[in-house]
A and B are shown apart, each in its own frame.
Chain A
Amino acid sequence: MSTLPPSPSTVYTGPFGEAQATRLLWRAGFGPRPGDAERLARLGLDAAVSSLTRPAEPAQLLDRPPHDDKGHPLDPLNVWGQDHCWWLDRMVRSTHQLVERMTLVWHSWFATSEEASNARLMINQNWTLRRNALGNFHQLLSDVTIDPAMLLWLNGNTNNRYAPNENYGREMFELFTLGQGRGYDQHDVHQNARALTGWTNDWSDSRGPINFRFDPKLHDDGVKRIFGQTGRFNWKDSVRLAVTHPSHPSFFVGKLWAYFVGAELPARTAHELELAYVRSGFEIRPVVEAILRHPLFYEGPRLVTPPVVWTAGLLRASRQTITTTDWAWIAQLTGQVLFQPPNVAGWNYAQWLDTSRWAGRLQAVNTALARHTLDGKHYPFGIDETASQAYEHALAFWGGQPLSDTAQRHLLKLSRRFARGQHQPWQQVPFRNLRQNALRALVPMTPDWMTA
């Protein structure tokens, strides 16, 4: 395991125990499997972060490969919803948890929807995002700008010298690099669209959009004026001008910070991270490493865990893998379908829950428990189990992550209610089954378990 270079910013110096490790695993990955938090806590902060940002071994997928409800391997390119299940499986099983998590960050950052293309192009883009996950932002933006799914999504493939299309040119500044209204105007957007002209593709009746390429004949090679600079700019210049714009470092750092930390970014930290980012030549990893070591990461308020992260976390905590493709429609109910962000601004990380999406998450729990519903004649933990033991067993089913006193009090009250409800000897086993089913369903629905 590599050691970390010194952080450009303040480093957390408080205790690094299971609580801190659990938060790190939820925010920089997809939640702990049983024992993960304890193992990570033993490493200490620096080695724990380094194990995520600089994994020593190539990525491996642990445990059993995913399959559909009939036991067949997934077919993500051809069957509806199985692209979602395919990536969800990587989130559950990959040893490179932060790489998958950063891939999800970039998917929301460069939010592209398969509505405009197809699963093949979306999964190709997904590998592009994964390859650059902790790499260089200049390179990432270059790759995304000419990525076929993105060219289709924001009309880069019909943006030509005869008819500039502003769609990508505008979002590139607003959502990807600079932020709304931060140092550019409509003139810059239009000129940027001209610089980006020239990309096109063919259409095949059998294969859909194919043969994406730059065609110099479609490129406007005239002089453009962007951010006050003049030249015969092309798409590479456009990417360079955006990344080197003075508004970009603060946009990059602020946006990345908000994915990981619930507290406001202090001005001094912002300055330190921006400087490190620029000096590294727009490297992503050093900024992530500074954020994951920052005191506010551990001491700041909790964050609601995004639905797909929480869903992967359910499976990891209960040591399960993908055995049903129900996860695809459940994702819609919870409000986060992979490869289908709501719009080009990505998912709204500030508001993940309301009555509808809470009900959707309960459906997810039902599905995760489908093979673990107790209804047999023998209660596995014995009929002498007390109400508090029942609670402990339910907690242990999900890996033993502790809950707050308030949540514990409510679940214990529910557990005791089941004890009160039984009067006949024949009720003893069924009521213990019911009690355990209820407690298992409610543990991951608590506000504690849905936040980190």
Chain B
Amino acid sequence: MQREWDPRMPVPAGVGIDRRRFISAALGGLAIVYGAERAGLTDQMLGDGVAQAAALHGAHDRILVSLFLQGGIDSLSLLAPAGDPLYTKLRPTLAVAPGSGVQFREDPSLTWHPMAASLAELHNAGKVLVFPGIGYAGEDMSHFTSRHYWEVGATDASLTTGWLGRYLDIVGNPHNPLQGLSLDGQMNPTLATTRQPVAAIDQPNNFAVWINGLWGDSAQWALQSASTLGDAQRHAADPAIQQVAAAASEVGIVRRTLKPWAGKSSASKPGSNPGAAYHAKVAYPASSSDDLPARLAGLAAMIDRGVPLHCVALSTGVQFDTHSGQAGTFNSGVKLVADSLAAFQADLEARGIDQRVLVHVWSEFGRRAQENGSDGTDHGAAGMSLLIGSRVRGGMIGEFPALNRLDANGNQRVNVDFRGVYASLLEQWFNHEAAAIIPGAGRFHRYRLLA
């Protein structure tokens, strides 16, 4: 099956649907690149792997998007027990005022932060599942350790593969790096695999690869040469050589897949911008400091085009590590995240692909209940996670960790283990046994996540 192919050629055996028809319908302009180039090169054959993956899975595979809120977001501000005298005492300058935001449907004593209004609205529409007290026992208040635990899906400092990376290692396609796509402009550790290829881009329209001073076919020859050298050395004995070679090898595939969009502008709102790589179906928020809206808009467009994505990971540009002057960073950051997520969901719905996508929002921990005197908060324990999507069973799992039962460090106590949520996601969203992916999966509770 791994041979040169062209959309005009007959469909090879083993591909379940009429590829040409599929490609023209789903991949649209993106398919042209596969047929346009002369082959015989391994990275070209790998490119076929993407096309095959697209043909086999692209249009119906479920996609999980992991969004990391960097720095430990203050869940006690995001969903606040406004009006609780103890809360006001712990948060003299930062407390959310009663009535300033939307009341939380499952627990009327809680109020959504006013800047998270779009999230509250999505929650009331039944498309957000909230975990208000998530974490793990023996909370580690280090950013890096706690984040690492969440990334690898285990409280194990020595694990080097991400939890979604291990899943892809089992179910992934050895020729499709787009199955595990980081949208951070660099590899997201959640997707770190040992065997299967994965890729990192920033936005689909600005993955630019060219060489100055080349024209005609020569640029393609040179770039192909770099990728085939990568193919040849990606299993070299030396791990440093491997790292560079794997990137070079995967660049060839990503380059061809995204070529029709390369160098074009993005349009994060509907309207006629003829030169744009894609048009969002709804307006995303404008932001000069964090391109999260543009990355999510590009993601929706890629899914719509049939790019064979399966697991996607990205991080906010905003840092929620608010040790001082919390209100400024938190308010604008939460508004950007909430509005971007709401726009993404609306975009998916407008494109008719919302049934295929689930967004998991997480942070490494919550913050100390007592504010610290720099108008900020120090590192805490229990925090908040969200699951967003049309297929989600909207509501709440676990409960709000009471402020009169803080732990010895003055932090909120955990009532849902994040590994139980990971295991439930694998089993219910990907229909895959969790035991092979989450260490000790059997020990964790399962939660009903889908409607």
Contacts and interface: CB of A to CB of B under 8 A. Distances in A.
Interface of A: 154-155, 158-160, 162-167, 170, 174-175, 180-181, 186, 189, 262, 301-304, 333, 335, 343-345, 351-359, 362-363, 365-366, 369-370, 373-375, 406-407, 410-411, 413-414, 417-418, 421, 433-435, 437-438, 441-442, 445-448, 450-451
Sorting the interface of chain B by its residue count into under 10, 10 to 19, 20 to 34 or 35 or more gives 35 or more
B251 A358 contact: yes
B233 A447 contact: yes
A170 B207 contact: no
A333 B202 CA distance: 10
Contacts of B243: 304, 351-353
B24 interface: no
A335 B188 CA distance: 13
B187 interface: yes
B208 interface: yes
Interface stretch (B81-89, B164-172, B211-219, B430-438): B211-219
B142 A353 contact: no
A410 B232 contact: yes
B212 A369 contact: yes
Interface string B231-264: 0110010111101111110110010000000000
A375 B144 contact: no
B406 interface: no
Nearest to B219: A438
B241 A410 contact: no
B233 A406 contact: yes
B96 interface: no
B222 A447 contact: no
Interface in B101-142: 140-142
A163 B374 contact: yes
A97 to B, nearest CB: 21
A359 B208 contact: yes
A433 B200 contact: no
- Of the candidates B201, B214, B241, B323, the one having the most CB atoms from chain A within 10 angstroms of its own CB is B241
A428 to B, nearest CB: 14
Contacts of A154: 323
Nearest to A370: B212
Interface of B: 70, 140-145, 157, 177, 182, 185-187, 192, 198-202, 207-218, 221-222, 225-226, 228-230, 232-233, 236, 238-241, 243-248, 250-251, 254, 319, 323-324, 372-374, 376, 378-379, 409
B121 to A, nearest CB: 32
Contacts, number: 191
A418 B198 CA distance: 32
B229 A406 contact: yes
Contact of B229 (A175, A366, A410): A410
A165 B240 contact: no
B222 A442 contact: yes
Nearest to A358: B247
A353 B239 CA distance: 12
A181 B141 CA distance: 10
A164 B409 CA distance: 14
Contacts of A370: 212
B77 to A, nearest CB: 18
Contacts of B240: 262, 301-304, 447, 451
Contacts of B374: 155, 158-159, 163, 165
B229 A407 contact: yes
27 contacts: A160-B373, A163-B372, A164-B372, A166-B379, A167-B323, A175-B144, A180-B144, A181-B145, A301-B240, A343-B319, A354-B247, A356-B182, A357-B247, A358-B244, A366-B211, A373-B212, A374-B213, A413-B225, A418-B221, A421-B217, A434-B213, A434-B215, A434-B218, A437-B212, A438-B211, A438-B225, A447-B240
A375 B409 CA distance: 68
A119 B247 CA distance: 33
A332 to B, nearest CB: 8
Contact of A450 (B208, B239, B244): B244
Contacts of A441: 211-214, 222
Contacts of A163: 372-374
Contact of A448 (B70, B207, B228, B241): B241
A366 B201 contact: no
Given A165-B323, A174-B142, A414-B222, A359 B207 contact: yes
A442 B226 contact: yes
A16 to B, nearest CB: 21
A418 B218 contact: yes
A165 B372 contact: yes
A231 B422 CA distance: 46
A414 B221 CA distance: 7
A441 B218 CA distance: 12
Contacts of B201: 355-356
B218 A355 contact: no
B154 to A, nearest CB: 16
Most buried by B among A335, A437, A447: A447
A230 B187 CA distance: 45
Contact of A302 (B144, B241, B251, B373): B241
Report the 3 A-B pairs with minimum CB-CB distance, sorted nearest first.
A163-B373, A437-B213, A373-B213
A170 B142 contact: yes
B208 A355 contact: no
A75 to B, nearest CB: 23
Contacts of A435: 218
Contacts of A189: 141
Given A414-B222, A438-B222, A355 B238 contact: no
A451 B378 contact: no
Contacts of B228: 410
Nearest to A154: B323
A162 B372 CA distance: 9
Given A165-B378, A170-B142, A362 B211 contact: yes
Most B CB contacts (10 A, CB to CB) among A155, A357, A359, A362 go to: A359
